[in-house]
Amino acid sequence: MNNIILGLSFTMVILLSCVKEDTNDTPMSDYKVSADFSTDIQLLNSGTAIHFYDHSTGGVNQWEWYFEGGTPERSTDKNPTITYNDKGQFSVSLICSNYFARDTITMDSFITVLDLNEGLVAYFPFNGNANDESKTAINGNIVDAVFTQDRFGNENSALSFDGDGDWVTCGTDNRGITNLITISLWVKSSDSNGIILSKYNIIHANPGYILFINKDGYPGLNGRDSKYGDYIRPTLSDAKINDSEWHHILATINNDKWELMVDGLLVGEILSQSLSPYLTNDIELTIGHIINDTNVPSREIAGLVDDVAIYNRILSSKEIEFIRLYGL
């Protein structure tokens, strides 16, 4: 008998609870939350701080973020700022909640962090000087060229060469480069037959490399990767660059593979098929001309050059994309 009374009482409590919930003004379903977020940028260079923005819905009043590889790794801010110091691909999780409900969103490999200082052996941003801002720190010496607006409209942030006695010398040091190199730079010119950058002597058959605009306005990457070896000229597609617009030039020499990209597209490639390719020499690295056997400059460029970066390694396609879109 007691068991029956207890059972009835329990049933009544449940019924009362249901009645109480049913008469509440706000049904439980209205407290449902949904986690969502965005960020400034998903591809970034190491050492960069980025913002995350909460877009969760449902009256959220608590946020718990987890940033793999980030500093800090956890935050309870609504819109936190996170710094990424190490390269890699990292996930981001957000748990959002109110007093009644919570939701979690995890995005794997959401953030890609590059290290564009790794292997950077020359960097001339030409922002008011010809300092080499890489760890090599062999500054350039400007001859006659003047500073002008860069591609973003910033004053004194690119170098202008007038085609007559203007260039920059950057020393004969090989900067640790032997058989791998990536060169990234920007050029704006209406010129033909001008040298953009060279570490090569046009008389001696030594290793070295030249970036230039040829007589028809096409960009070129030529050179040698062995003493008395074949002169290497990647085949060029029809991408003229002497149109007075800024163009991103990217050259790589990966052992015997020479490649040239313009504005993110591969325009020329060739295999030198050298058995032991190398690029070292004792010739001046110059921007804006080439030297011949008697150290007489020639093929001086008329145009603007900016943000010259040289690596002693081959950049990945993501790194190349980053440099082209955002710079160093």
Interaction site with Ca ion (CB under 5 A): 125-126, 144, 150, 157, 162, 164-166, 306-307
Q: Are 108 and 67 in contact (CB under 8 A)?
A: no
Pairing of strands 208-213, 219-224: antiparallel
CB of 161 to Ca ion, least distance (A): 8
Q: Least CB distance from residue 299 to Ca ion, whole Å?
A: 14
The Cα 191–Cα 197 span in angstroms is: 14
112 vs 139 by CB, closer to Ca ion: 139
Instruction: Measure the CA–CA gap between 285 and 278, rounded to whole angstroms.
Output: 16
Nearer residue to Ca ion within complex by CB, 91 or 160: 160
Minimum CB–partner distance for residue 297 and Ca ion (Å) = 11
Residue 72 or 165 with smaller CB distance to Ca ion: 165
Report angle CA 34, 36, 37 to the nearest 5 degrees: 160
- How far, in Å, CA of 145 to CA of 300, rounded? 11
What is the C-alpha to C-alpha distance for residues 146 and 302, in angstroms, rounded to an integer? 12
Residue with smaller CB distance to Ca ion, 144 or 216:
144
Nearest to Ca ion of 132, 150 (CB atom):
150
CB of 310 to Ca ion, least distance (A): 15
Indicate the residue among 166 and 319 with the shorter CB distance to Ca ion. 166
Beta-strand pair 257-262/62-67: unpaired
Q: Which of 107, 35, 45, 49 is nearest to 81 (CA)?
A: 49
CB of 295 to Ca ion, least distance (A): 18
Instruction: Give the shortest CB-42-to-Ca ion separation in angstroms.
Output: 25
Task: Output the smallest distance, CB 40 to Ca ion, in A.
Answer: 22
141 DSSP assignment: E
Kindly tell me which of 96 and 170 has the beta carbon lying closer to Ca ion. Answer: 170
Cβ at position 69, least distance to Ca ion in Å:
30
Cβ contacts of 271 within 8 Å, gap of 6 or more: 256, 257, 258
Query: What's the rounded Cα separation, in Å, for the pair 145 and 127?
Result: 13
The tokens for 39 are: 């960020």
Q: Nearest to residue 322, comparing CAs of 84, 115, 118, 44?
A: 44
Number of residues in the chain: 328
Name the residue nearer to Ca ion (CB basis): 127 or 280: 127
CB 168 → Ca ion: shortest distance, Å?
13
Specify the pairing of strand 102-114 against strand 43-45: parallel
Query: Between residues 103 and 307, which has the closer beta carbon with respect to Ca ion?
Result: 307
What one-character-per-residue DSSP string does 83-98 give?
EE-S-EEEEEEEEEE-
